Structure 1
Amino acid sequence: MKTLFMLLLFCHVASTVKHSLKYVLTATSGVKNIPEFVGLGMVDEVLAGYCDSNSKTADPKQDWVRDFIKDNPQHMDWHAQRCSRSHHVFRANIVDLKQRLNQTGGAHILQSMDGCEWDDETGEVIGFHQFGYDGEDFIVLDLQTMTWTAPRQQAFITKLRWDADKVSLEYNKNYYNHICPHWLKKYVHYGRSSLQRTDLPSVSLLQKNPSSPVSCHATGFYPDRAMMYWRKDGEEHHEDVDHGEILPNHDGSFQISVDLILSSVAPEDWRRYDCVFHLSGVEDVIVTKLDKAQIRTNWEFPAAVTGVVVGLLLLLALCIAGLFIWRRNNNGE
């Protein structure tokens, strides 16, 4: 696994009954134009709260979070204090790591991701707490053995020191097994109308040029538990198909693309192919036939644009003709 930041952006829960609460904390050294420390709180992969070292306060990012804070004002103070405390701890840890690894300059990033997942069908709770440094795993808490594991040799000193801190280990055990899922359940209750909604996407067929694959692109769906694939004669088709990842949109919805390479498909066989989108928890699927007339491209003008261009040219011709007539009439006077 690479950076925790990439994990935050692109990971998604596969089950329809699992909920998650994650805190992603990032501290930087030698990186310009961004806050020295940033904290994100995520519920079911949705940004619920934010803090940084510049604002020095916790900022709720969803209406349902603001409603929760109104009923639980002490929770806002807890997050603000955690943000401030983590900023100072992370800054000191980066200084320590740079000295330990003999790093005198450059840009460095220390991140942590912690929280819990709760299956509201089985009741299973899974806690997690891990750190990454400069894009690689650094140290991870094993909640089964209540010990820290060090993927990197440079983290072994930290492992020994944290394993010896029995008070912190006992707190972590209680927090990730009890406190974290308790708050997660409350968040899910307050945000259920938003977090548990289902939004179907708009689906389009896209192609860059005549030799490019045809991309079946779905955007605007929620949640991110979805699948999309190409079919041939009603059966899922795998040959010459490239599946893209589910990616977030700026508005909290998601998008996905699945490409079909057409070099081996005869034009008369296009009618045998279609693209299927299925959102988990929704019975209906969206089926899009492979139809050349429906493909949007950037290598030829759509009919509507062509009509506008032709209209403008005709208008220009009329204007020029009118100018000549006006000059001829004036010269004749």
Structure 2
Amino acid sequence: MRILVILFLLCQVSSALKHTLRFFFTGSHGVIHSPEFLGSAVLDDVLMGYCDSIKNIVEPKQELVKYFFENDPEHLKWYQGECFQNQPIFFKATIQSLMKLYNHSGGVHVLQRMDGCEWDTATGKVTGYMKYGYDAQDILSFNMETLKWDALKPEVVSIKQSWEAVEPRMTYVVTFLTHVCPTFMRNYVVHGKSLLERTERPLVSLLQRTPSSPVTCHASGFYPDTAALFWRKDEEEIHEDVVHGGILPNHDDTFQMKVTLNLSSVAPEDWKRYDCVFQLSGRSDDIITKLDKENIKTNWVSPSKFPAGAAVGITVGLLLLLVVVFGVVIWRRKKNNVSQPL
């Protein structure tokens, strides 16, 4: 379980036959300017909710979760309990125990938990799991067959034994994996079908600052964020003289991305051999945009086309402004009886 601190980056929409609900919790020690505890819920790789110890609120990231928070007080209460009471206290104590077991007197240390359940709608089978990692190493995994903890490192055998000796904690784990998680997942899937199957195609544009600048292929307004954008030459993807930008969120929950092509070594007559391709996961209707000067948007204006009257007007305006400023200075100095030369 090599999980980074930010575990809730979106990946891709799952198959319609299988659904997953995952919870990620991270506690840290010695990390400056970062929450000591944070958590997230992810349904079929779509971020549903988030919380951390700095904001101290549970943030629903989808309308589906907002609906349950507003209509089911117990639903919101469970998230609040996990985010601000149960897990932060438990994580802090566990980190202290692990630091002693590993002889860590200080420094930066991270404890992470990944748990959740998978629902196979074809067979009806639901599988739960829970794993812990400390400083990027797997240390404990819950065994659903034995209903015991498996110690993955010899240093944590004592923690395994102490956890199994506390009956309420063992009951909590089993109840969460066999009842709470599956119930949440089924409710989300049933009420959120439109969200999970949502796809939106973007507007693709070709942009260029000046005639000698690289051409940027920009796609904005797509969903989900599992998409690809690339340049082709003679219908073959190219990588030379190409710079890819990352996927960025828009204000309306859609995404945007760009890829830039340097054409400095491409003859104008060869432009027609190039095109930009956008591909969206779950859809086969790619958007192909030919590299054509007529398709390129730019706000660059040739100096030869710049109106002469406008240039004269700007020059005259600047001269008038200088005259006004000069007059104000003289007036103020006379008013204050200032006689030194300007």
1:60-106 deviation per Cα after TM superposition (whole angstroms, max 9, x unaligned): 44433232234322222222222211111001011112212222223
Shift of 1:133: 2.6
Q: 1:18 to 1:253 in 2, by over 3 A?
A: farther
CA contact (8 A) 1:21 1:115 kept: yes
Q: Which residue in 1 is equivalent to 2:291? A: 290
TM-score normalized with structure 1 length: 0.72
Residue 254 of structure 1 aligns to which amino acid in structure 2? Answer: F
Pairs within 5 Å for 1:15-94: 15=15, 18-53=18-53, 58-83=58-83, 84-94=85-95
Show the counterpart of 1:134.
135
Report the counterpart of residue 327 of structure 2 in structure 1.
none
CA separation of 1:54/1:216 partners in 2, compared to 1, >3 Å: closer, same or farther?
closer
TM-aligned CA deviation for residue 264 of structure 1: 7.4
The answer to which of 31-40 and 85-94 deviates more is 31-40
Q: Match for residue 186 of structure 1?
A: 187
Where does residue 331 of structure 1 map in the other structure?
none
Partner Cα separation in structure 2 for residue 194 and residue 262 of structure 1: 40
> Which AA in structure 2 matches 1:318?
V
Shift of 1:145: 7.1
In structure 2, the partner of 1:104 is 105
Q: Give TM-score scaled by structure 2 length.
A: 0.70
- 2:243 & 2:320 partners in 1: Cα distance? 57
Displacement of 1:230: 3.7
Cα distance in 2 between the residues matched to 1:254 and 1:145: 44
CA distance in 2, matches of 1:141, 1:207: 55
Cα gap change, 1:10 to 1:132, in 2 (>3 Å): farther
Structure 2 SS opposite 1:88: helix
Secondary structure at the counterpart of residue 74 of structure 1:
helix
Q: For the Cα contact (< 8 Å) 2:13–2:46, is it kept in 1?
A: no
* Aligned mates of 1:209, 1:134 — CA distance in 2: 49
Distance 1:320 1:208, change over 3 A: closer
Q: CA deviation at 1:117?
A: 3.6
Alpha-carbon distance in 1 for matches of 2:229, 2:274: 14
Deviation at 1:186, TM superposition (A): 0.9
**In the aligned structure 1, how far is the partner of 2:209 from the partner of 2:2?**
31
After superposition, give the CA deviation of every residue in 1:265-304 in whole Å (9 maximum; x if it has no partner): 55433312212213234453311223456567xxxx8326
How many residue pairs match? The answer is 321
Distance 2:229 2:193 in 1: 25
* 1:112 positional shift: 1.6
Counterpart of 2:40 in structure 1: which amino acid?
L
1:319 is matched by which residue type in structure 2?
A: G
Alignment-derived partner of residue 117 in structure 2:
116
- Secondary structure of the structure 1 residue equivalent to 2:5: helix
**Any unmatched runs of 5+ in structure 1?**
327-333
Structure 1 residue 20: Cα displacement = 3.2
